Amino acid sequence: MSGPASYDLLVFAAVRAIDPALGLDEVVDVVVEKGRIARVGRGAATAELRSAQGARVIEGEGLLLLPAFVDLHAHLREPGQEYKEDIASGLAAAAAGGFAHVCAMPNTRPVNDTRSITEAMIARARQIGGPALHPIGAITMGQKGAELTEMADLKDAGAVAVSDDGRCVTSSAVMRRALEYAATFDLPVIQHAEDHALTEGALMHEGAVSTKLGLRGWPRVAEDIIVARDILLAEATGARYHVAHVSSRGAVRILREAKSRGIKVTAEVTPHHLTLTDAAVIGYDTACRVNPPLREAEDVAALCEALADGTIDAVATDHAPHSPLEKDCEFAEASPGMIGLELVLPLLLALVRDKSLPLGRLVDALTAAPARIVGLTAPSLREGALGELCLIDPTARWTISPERLRSKSKNTPFLGKEVTGAVRMTLAGGRVVHEAETTSSQRGAN
């Protein structure tokens, strides 16, 4: 659709509504009136409401209605690399994926290390409409790992966290100061856990496949060392520490132990680290070059288990659009990353179907958990809440193709894959920001 649409009365009839935060999982009617959830329950969609002037009625049999999703980790490339993605195309992709909130990483050009860039990003997103954009500011100026940013200014401008994103803060002294400073403002510090001295020149996970392909390997311990060190620093400072895109079974073990001791640590995992192994790189597929790298089956199993039991709090896309300039090249020259905003739901519903992940845990990991980490009001099916919802057809089968993707970039190894599960409608800020196809009858005028 061309832009957000508002309805005075939007009725979801006989839909399976799921909101783990409310303990809700049942077939009910959900009524959204003037952008807010007015009624939830059996029989809420009365004949009078259904026939009201301007009512939009969606027959929900066989469909799921969830709180809209929150992404902790996306790259929207604006300012500076709009040929890969911009805020408009990135938010359109987010809406199509079921997201009402997107946290944008600071590796823009220039780096989002000042109030002015944070404010400009938010203003641009509001001008466009659709899902809300929440910038993440840099930890250090220029992401250079030395001088701390003015975190107070960043938070005041609207930043919800700080991170140096693809550059790990390798100095223990700088990281300690960053945690202490951020704790003053209750800002979570998001770390890309990578000991760069151990990964110099690495192109993929270190293992049998890297040996076979003749590519320099990236050892798990490069991630584990930083996670262990930072958890000790977080414990010492009392700061909120978040691990981006966990990929190793060792990091999972360290996180589980830290949480058992009550340390304020949280973590996220990406769909591609839950569904692919390093074997996907065979053939030198540049779409599978990501940072951190795809790892082995044992790591994938550990990540799935950790997400299911809550050791890993949230799912985040790490949506990283790149143009053919950065991907249609030699593997060693390819930029790391793949897109993900539009593919989370179908890829992870497969884990629900094979019983690797409970549906309620998946919904929580995409909604309340990420919102809690960065201090946002979580989308909810609670009566009185702002209408931020996601309507899902869990049985719709479709093939991932460039034509179906709203992102400017199409860099994903899942092109051509048939998947099951589709987002039919997304509401953000009380308005319909995405609709895949006609799903309802409408009576009267808006």
Q: State the residue for tokens 């009625």.
A: 57
Cross-strand bridge partners of residue 137: 162
| Beta strands at 217-218 and 204-205: parallel, antiparallel or unpaired | parallel
For residues 416 and 400, the answer to whether their CB atoms sit within 8 Å is yes
104 contact partners, CB below 8 Å, separation of at least 6: 74, 75, 76, 90, 112, 121, 133, 134, 135, 136
Phi and psi at residue 211, in whole multiples of 5°?
-65, -45
CA dihedral sign, ordered 34, 37, 38, 41: positive
Q: Which of 78, 94, 105 is nearest to 429 (CA)?
A: 94
d(CA 187, CA 264): 12
- The single residue of 165, 224, 318, 364 carrying the catalytic annotation is 318
- 309 classed as catalytic: no
d(CA 318, CA 340): 7
Q: Which of 431, 444, 424 is nearest to 65 (CA)?
A: 424
Q: Which of 318, 321, 314, 376 is nearest to 101 (CA)?
A: 376
Sheet strand arrangement including 265-269: 162-163, 189-191, 241-243, 265-269, 314-315
Kindly state the DSSP code that residue 165 receives in the 8-state scheme.
T
d(CA 174, CA 189): 12
Q: Which residues are catalytic?
A: 318
